[in-house]
Structure 1
Amino acid sequence: MHPLKLNPLSPVFFSVPNHRLGFDWYVNVTTAIIKDQEYLDFLDWLKKMGCPKTKLTLAEFSNTGRGMMATKDIKAGEVIVQVPESNLVTMKTLQSLYGARIARFGNKVNSHMIIALHIALLVQAPEKSGWLPYLRMLPKKFDTMPVRYPQELFDLLPQNAQAHVKKQKAKIMADYKATLQFLQSNSDLLTQPLQYEEYEWAWLVVNTRCIYLDAKKQVAADNIALAPMLDFLNHTHDAKTEGFFCTKTKSYKIRTLLPYKKGEQVFINYGPHDNCFILVEYGFVTPDNPFNYVTVDSNFLQLSIPGETPTAKKEKLELLDMAGYFGDYVLHRDDVSFRLLVGLRLRLINSFHKSSAATQLAIAQWHNVVSGELDQISPENERMVPVYVEQLCEEMLAQAKTNLGILARKKTTFPVMHLQQMWIEARDIILSIMDKIHRKEPL
């Protein structure tokens, strides 16, 4: 991939305490307005492409990296970004370039794959594409993305994030292999062979920057788009925005429902996602995220329960799977997931022999508890549930403390700070649940 180098920043510094952000390293934020030649060329390119002026400018924030800053006060209800349809990169807009080729290839393509290929091809010959000003504004690398973490940092991710990363890696590789197959009969598109690293970079550009043209159809094959300028806006969970395609102006618009003061970073909202999801998909985390939770699937499977034979454990897990309650066992700040309580109640049935009448009665009672027809299988079973929830908490708390200790000895980088924040928040969730147990509050 040809390097698209950025010039050093021409900084204008601000100290912007943002009342919406609550974590320590989100306070007293230093901001440098970006006025390098690449950005000025990009603004000129946007003007030629028909993009209206905005009250936003690109800036480097000490807490979040690049994002958009308000150059004037913005009122609630204002449109903050407007991208003409001709400036959107979608499967529809790429039909003129690749439509016949895609049709010959069959149904082995998807919009993410094709848009990523398009970006990779533009980078191979940026001067010829007409999109060089935009390409120069894209990240040169994605070191904050867990899919790019070295093994030592990957090992410090929570278990659900690790599983998510593995799926993402498999998806990128599958799309790359499909792309190579597509290029076998379309080699004239290439300036040089497409290497995996080039395609991974382009795939991550699309993944971290795309929008859904219709937020209600996030699985539609032709629904994603790259939207220059709009894709510089960062996410926070408490931003309130509306995204919509305006048929009258033939453009995609973002309207903020919150006001912003001059000098503040302006955000959009990607949806109700926890920090593990946001980190894996976008490469950052948000402070005080109310959607955070702690996954204890592995700990649940490894629980050692006195008197539970391997055969009984296997049969119980099969029952959980058949009933739709296998996995996704989580702790929230204020409660334990119903799925985890369901799983523990079954695991805590003593003398489990499926052929016995007593066990069949206990299983029937368990089903009735799940459906809400009974409050408990037995007083003893219900008494033991918080005991084992606390055991799970203690195990996860020990892991959080260990990982925080390891991270404290590492050089401070964005990935290290992201991992620290996730484990601090996990620790706080665990301590909150343990406190409820000690105060004998309902779970």
Structure 2
Amino acid sequence: MDSWLRESGALGLDSLELADFPDTGRGVKTTRSFKEGEKILTIPAKILWTVKHAYADPLLGPALKSAQPPLSVEDTLAIYLLFVKSRESGYEGQRSHVAALPTSYSSSILFEEDELEVAAGTSLYTITKQLEQSIEDDHRSLLVRLFIQYPDLFPLDKFGIDDYKWALCTVWSRAMDFVLPNGTPVRLLAPFADMLNHTSSVKQCHAYDPSTGNLSVLAGKDYQPGDQVFINYGPVSNSRLLRLYGFVIPGNPNDSYDLVLSTHPQAPFYEQKEKLWKMAGLDSTATIPLTLTDPLPKKVLRYLRIQRLDAQNLAVVARQGSDAAEEKVSDENEVEILRFLVESFEYLLSGFGTPLEKLEEQLEKGVYPAGSNAWAAAHVSIGEQKVLRLAKKRAEELLSLVESGSDGNAKDRCANCGKADAPLSLCGRCKSVAYCGRACQVAHYKGHKTKCQALAAKSG
């Protein structure tokens, strides 16, 4: 592949080489030092795998254009890879890249049933089950819409379901996504650059030049000769890492749980509530990530406050405009939604196949060999259970505040996060609420502003 890349105008290969590393496996090693921000590698536009290039191919392009409805970006790239892989001549350079790709992956869609069961109860488990069915449906559709129509281009023995899964895993784990200045998204695979492994310890360092179409990789930190060169995928949870990239990070600080909130269109006052959700920047079906740092986002409370509004409070909240339900509507409404959340989090936690403490014990005893699929699934489950436990604890704390007669604005607790075990400072204007720090004061001010001004005017 190196000779093809050099002939194609790739820059930086003289300072890089493929190598095997004990922690990450196959990766890229630098043979000289680099300073952070220095350009390491440039892959020219003409050899990138893109939808545009697939459609421009004289053999593949006409077939792709005939498919109705048009193929997705993901399917187009997957078929492009399989098409080149299946050719015996005419695509030597691209075939050398395909030959350098892994022959197998460890994405969750390829797990054995008992391996995936370790993650039972997680969003990974649910999404993987849905993906497995979706992939089978999509492959059947491709057979009818494309493969059977062009048997000479798509021999069925090389475009089977397992081949399709391999191609999808290649796209998921190796594609890079960018957005052009005009808002158009671009997804591409870059030969050699796709061998770079991920770490959150470097700055995001891959860039797409829309004027040339070239892909460049910059040093995300200082490197010395012999160091492995990394890129940063961004703040990604273990569930997403395992589903798309086939690995996890033990103790991942970016672990999260996607909480889905929805309301049936025939629910009471649905149309009025839908307008309120839109004013609040929400949809009637909202997916809100719960994280280790923010296990119970205000968007969750705001959605549920609107969902549980009765006829008496609807008109009052509607007059608040964009601030609708940003703070407590009433004690009754708040108690109702917080009790619902506590019960919901309890239910979700009960659905995990193995409780957190037992999983941690099993990992410590080596029940799941380090690096195995089951080991990775266990780490996903641990991360999501930790997030849900924090969310449940937060909901219980807020419920206790309301039931004890405090709505979270008492002077002995932070009005924004509810902390009572931290140094607090009163609002300098109204003196009616306290905060544990500047960040909480700023975050709370939009909803507190009207009340603050009224109290300040009254006391003034």
2:52 aligns to what SS in structure 1? coil
**One-letter amino acid of the counterpart of residue 108, structure 1:** P
**One-letter amino acid of the counterpart of residue 372, structure 1:** D
Distance across 2 between alignment mates of 1:204 and 1:396: 29
Q: Match of 1:231?
A: 194
Q: Match of 1:204?
A: 169
Correspondence 1:328 to 2:279: no
> Sequence identity, in percent?
21
Q: Match of 1:184?
A: 148
Q: Match of 1:25?
A: none
Change (3 A) 1:115 1:286: same
Are the aligned partners of 2:198 and 2:232 in contact in 1 as well (CA < 8 Å)? yes
**One-letter amino acid of the counterpart of residue 376, structure 1:** K
2:17 aligns to what SS in structure 1? strand
Q: Match of 2:311?
A: 360
Change (3 A) 1:422 1:109: closer
Q: Match of 1:73?
A: 33
Q: Match of 1:277?
A: 240
Are the aligned partners of 1:245 and 1:251 in contact in 2 as well (CA < 8 Å)? yes
Correspondence 1:51 to 2:3: no
Q: Match of 1:267?
A: 230
Query: Which deviations, in whole Å up to 9, do the C-alpha atoms of 1:114-138 show, x marking residues without a partner?
Result: 3322322333345663144322221
Structural mapping, 1:78-227, within 5 Å: 78-94=38-54, 95-97=56-58, 98-105=60-67, 107-125=69-87, 129-130=91-92, 131-142=94-105, 144-155=106-117, 156-169=119-132, 171-180=134-143, 181-191=145-155, 193=157, 194-212=159-177, 214=179, 220=185, 223-227=186-190
Larger mean CA deviation between 371-380 and 88-97 belongs to: 371-380
**One-letter amino acid of the counterpart of residue 201, structure 1:** W
Query: Which deviations, in whole Å up to 9, do the C-alpha atoms of 1:345-397 show, x marking residues without a partner?
Result: 46777xxxxxxxxx410344565689535642323443565555444444455
Distance across 2 between alignment mates of 1:218 and 1:417: 40
Q: Match of 2:329?
A: 377
Distance across 1 between alignment mates of 2:379 and 2:321: 35
Are the aligned partners of 2:206 and 2:215 in contact in 1 as well (CA < 8 Å)? no
Q: Match of 2:411?
A: none
**TM-score between the two structures when normalised by the length of structure 2:** 0.68
Structure 2 unaligned spans of 5+: 278-282, 402-413, 418-460
Structural mapping, 1:416-431, within 5 Å: 416-431=374-389
Q: Match of 2:437?
A: none
Query: Which deviations, in whole Å up to 9, do the C-alpha atoms of 1:141-185 show, x marking residues without a partner?
Result: 12x211222233334255433443345445534543343222333
Correspondence 1:64 to 2:24: yes
**One-letter amino acid of the counterpart of residue 323, structure 2:** G
Q: Match of 1:352?
A: none
Change (3 A) 1:82 1:414: farther
Correspondence 1:402 to 2:354: yes
Are the aligned partners of 2:10 and 2:42 in contact in 1 as well (CA < 8 Å)? yes
Structure 1 unaligned spans of 5+: 1-41, 302-310, 350-358
Query: Which deviations, in whole Å up to 9, do the C-alpha atoms of 1:254-309 show, x marking residues without a partner?
Result: 223432344443222334443323322222234555543223449x99xxxxxxxx
Q: State the Cα distance separating 1:105 from its structure 2 match.
A: 4.1
**One-letter amino acid of the counterpart of residue 278, structure 1:** L
The number of residues matched between the two structures is 379
Are the aligned partners of 2:120 and 2:353 in contact in 1 as well (CA < 8 Å)? no
1:109 aligns to what SS in structure 2? coil
